[in-house]
Structure formats: structure tokens, C-alpha cells
Amino acid sequence: MKTIKGLDFEDLLQKELKNQELRFLFDERRFYLQVARLVSELRAKSGLSQVELAKKARVTQPLIARLEKGDHRRTPTFDTVFKILKALGYSMEISIKQEKKAA
């Protein structure tokens, strides 16, 4: 009887991410989820509900919900993210870094 060797998720992921199109989609999704987590954590830390934050930022509650889910189909503008962060008492800075080139 043959034994099936388990696959390590990280090894499999790194192998698949050598595909440039998949890498782009993966990085794009990760970016949306980082923004989602940031807004969600800052909102929770402030003790505001989605409705309260939406009123304070002058946006809609569904927009806050979509943003916190990382819904990439309706990407918020920088202006929207700025307003939300400002309403939470934060400012926004943009930082860029050059990616490492694949070997």
C-alpha cells in the first residue's frame, strides 16, 4: 500500500506563486484584506459600531461592512479610506517599497 506524502501548505503556496498572474492576484487580495483588518481592528478599538463609524465618516454602513470584509469588487477610494481613518482619529500615509526580484 502506498503512503501519500502530505504537502506543506507553505511549500505548495511558494511553488504556485511563481506564476506571475497568480502572484499578482494573491498580492492584490492580500492588500485588500490588510486594509480590511486594519479598519476593523481600529473600529473595534475605538468602540464604535459600523453605523456609528459610517455616520462619523459620512459614508454608508454597507460601505464600512464591505471594506471590513475586504470586498475587492467595490474598491474604496483613497478619499474614502482617508475619511474613515480620520473619523477613527488616525491619519494616512502611503509608503512604497521595491519588490524583490525573483531568482
Percentage of the chain exceeding pLDDT 90: 48
3 state SS for 44-95 = HHHCCCHHHHHHHHCCCHHHHHHHHHCCHHHCCCHHHHHHHHHHCCCCCCCC
Residue 2 resides in a domain: no
Range(s) of the domain holding residue 31 = 11-87
pLDDT in tens, 50-76: 999 999 999 999 999 999 998 878 888
CA distance 55 to 34: 23
Higher pLDDT, 42 or 77: 42
Count: domains in the chain:
1
**Whole-angstrom Cα distance, residue 102 to residue 68?**
32
Output the pLDDT for position 83.
Answer: 95
Q: What is the pLDDT of residue 49?
A: 97
pTM, whole model, 2 decimals?
0.75
Tell whether 25 is covered by a domain: yes
- 79 in a structural domain: yes
Q: What is the CATH number of the domain that holds 35?
A: 1.10.260.40
Chain-wide mean pLDDT for the chain? 87
| 19 in a structural domain | yes
Here the cell at position 53 is 463609524
Looking at mean pLDDT, say which of 30-34, 75-79, 87-91 comes out highest. Answer: 87-91
Domain membership flag for residue 68: yes
Domain annotation covers residue 62: yes
Backbone φ, ψ for residue 15 (5° rounding): -65, -45
Assess if residue 94 is contained within a domain. Answer: no
